[in-house]
Structure 1
Amino acid sequence: MNDSAHAPGTPSAPRVTVVVLTRNHVRQTVDTVARLTALPEHPDVIVADNGSTDSTVSLLASLFPQVRILQSLGDHGMAGFNRAVLLARTDYVACCDDSTWFAPGALTRAAQLLDAHAQVAVLNARVVSGDEREIHPACLMLAATSPGAEGLAGPVLANFMAGACIFRAAVFRALGGYEERLSHGGAEELAALDMLSAGHRIVYCEQALAHREPLYRWFTRAQHCALARNTAWVAWMRLPARDAIAATGRALAVFARQRSLGPAGVALLRGAFWTLRARRVVPPHVALLTRQVRRAERHVRVGIPAMAEKYDRSGQRAW
């Protein structure tokens, strides 16, 4: 692990640490880290490597000695962010994958907004293509289905993109990070519900600009099923019974469309025991927010092309 030269409390100390999650994408990771280390904010950068077997770790260590590298022996999915956030020495942490980087000035503006709005725990960035001609369909969905909120940095959200956000490190640590059993889809949904239940806000912030290449990707059959299954698990862990039953029905519909009803249904059932043991129903206002967003999604999805069914809502690669 390579430690940054910045020390907390000095005038040059960064306000935000950027954590880059990667696995076996050496070229993209090098490009992303180069862009991040060149930012005028000079953020601390931590690369959380999910067990790469290519030259990612060795090449990064050679090219960027100022970057901290956390190498895992295995693939922990989104839970790979957890250890890196524990080591961050700043109040705010920005998370991205190896194809996403923040625009110059975006981290400064995010820190200012979080300073000004103590109730906001997470800012979801606006994610665009490298030439800024297209916006990520997840952002289109978030912006279109989120209720407004006066006095905040943007519309309030019931969820966020784990691979394109800036949050308070203390809140993330208090929640225990991402659940590893949901680390390939759905972990951010559980984290969002727990943040909202604790009285925090999640906000979509267009001023926090991030670029991503490629802008979006198509899901495989297995990834569609895994995300639907995990979303149902999260619903049983946190939402009222009516919402959990509805989420289960949606998951079964996805399994049927993907022609995997038997195997995916069995996998869903296997998780019933640990999800029900972890059940802790959210307050009524949080459940109401999730229902409002769900209703809005049904209307908005018609106006956003079929890609809206296929984008990665977490904003990060499924490893």
Structure 2
Amino acid sequence: MSDRVTTVVMTRDRWPDLQVSLPHHEPPVVLVDNASADGTPQLVGRHHPDVEVLALTRNLAAPARNLGVEAARTPYVAFADDDSWWSPGALDRAADLLDAHPRLAVVHPRILVGPEERLDGLCAELARSPLPRLADLPGPPIAGFVACGVVVRRNAFLETGGFDAVVAFPGEEERVALDLLAGGWHLTYVEDVVAHHHPSPSRDPGGRRRARIARNHLLTALMRRPWPVVLREVGSVLGGRDLPAARGLLQAVRRSPRALAARRVVPGHVEDLLALLA
């Protein structure tokens, strides 16, 4: 049992995936169930009594993870989905790095996908991050992460307000990453911290998911980016021929009042980093 890292797992109606992933997790583990209809909370309680289950009465989407973070009693939290888990020793390694680097808020692992364990495409991009190297970081500086496998400093994550209901899911990580950078925190990619992701066969259809990703990227821009950037992002969608992205734009318009109410533009040094990535 770790006294430094709690694993927070988010799930909804995926007991078959949890049967595979939960045995890989080292305690303490908090499972947040988004109002499953398949009996997941009861099944987890029966087969994995050492897992703390937070059974929600409605689907909160990604913000449900916030409740798991609040319930954690360790300084660091490792996120996992019902179809992902951590390699043995990975969380101890991440905790050592967070102990050694007080302004480090996110340790992003090397994620191996599927039974063939191919490198996640995002990880290849993170390893080549063009952001200026910092002497006191254990890996390349980055400006984003994926929540199916990442270790965060609990107090830094809570400082951002956690995942929000405006975006909900997917793409919920982008605004949190921007707020961490704005708060002077660092994010880094570390090759020797390893997570595994075996994408569930019950994932949303590709077109619907792409529309939601486009919607949430635009909403995040509306909440945190300067107006010229927002207009550029909207123009990119309008000028393209991507039907899911166009649907995402319409969905973003409907949620725009809530995004505008939460608007707080990131400082210039964060925009400078994003310009390097662009």
Q: TM-score, normalised by structure 1?
A: 0.81
Gaps of 5+ in 1: 1-11, 38-42, 295-319
CA distance, structure 1, for counterparts of residue 74 and residue 244 of structure 2: 46
CA contact (8 A) 1:126 1:210 kept: yes
Displacement of 1:64 in angstroms is 1.2
Match of 2:211 in 1: 225
Choose which of 2, 9, 33 in structure 2 pairs with 1:20: 9
Letter matched to residue 208 of structure 2: A
Letter matched to residue 137 of structure 2: L
Letter matched to residue 226 of structure 1: R
| Alpha-carbon distance change, 259 to 112 in structure 1, aligned in 2, over 3 angstroms | closer
| Alpha-carbon distance change, 259 to 167 in structure 1, aligned in 2, over 3 angstroms | closer
CA contact (8 A) 2:214 2:249 kept: no
Match of 1:247 in 2: 233
Match of 1:266 in 2: 250
Match of 1:190 in 2: 175
Choose which of 99, 103, 113 in structure 2 pairs with 1:115: 99
Match of 1:35 in 2: 24
Letter matched to residue 274 of structure 1: R
Match of 1:82 in 2: 66
1:202 aligns with 2:191: no
Match of 1:158 in 2: 143
| Alpha-carbon distance change, 193 to 213 in structure 1, aligned in 2, over 3 angstroms | same
CA distance, structure 2, for counterparts of residue 20 and residue 225 of structure 1: 25
CA contact (8 A) 2:215 2:245 kept: no
Displacement of 1:67 in angstroms is 0.9
| Alpha-carbon distance change, 268 to 278 in structure 1, aligned in 2, over 3 angstroms | same
Q: SS state of the match for residue 77, structure 2? A: strand
1:168 aligns with 2:157: no
Choose which of 33, 39, 44 in structure 1 pairs with 2:28: 44
CA contact (8 A) 1:156 1:202 kept: yes
| Alpha-carbon distance change, 142 to 249 in structure 1, aligned in 2, over 3 angstroms | farther
Displacement of 1:282 in angstroms is 0.8
Letter matched to residue 42 of structure 2: S
CA distance, structure 2, for counterparts of residue 61 and residue 293 of structure 1: 44
Q: SS state of the match for residue 277, structure 2? A: helix
| Alpha-carbon distance change, 151 to 23 in structure 1, aligned in 2, over 3 angstroms | same
Displacement of 1:94 in angstroms is 0.2
| Alpha-carbon distance change, 289 to 14 in structure 1, aligned in 2, over 3 angstroms | same
CA contact (8 A) 2:218 2:249 kept: no
Tell me the percent identity. Answer: 34
Letter matched to residue 263 of structure 2: R
| Alpha-carbon distance change, 13 to 134 in structure 1, aligned in 2, over 3 angstroms | closer
CA distance, structure 1, for counterparts of residue 258 and residue 200 of structure 2: 35
Match of 1:293 in 2: 277
Displacement of 1:250 in angstroms is 3.1
CA contact (8 A) 1:228 1:250 kept: no
Gaps of 5+ in 2: none
Q: CA RMSD in A?
A: 2.1
Choose which of 88, 104, 116 in structure 2 pairs with 1:104: 88
Displacement of 1:53 in angstroms is 0.8
Aligned pair count? Answer: 276
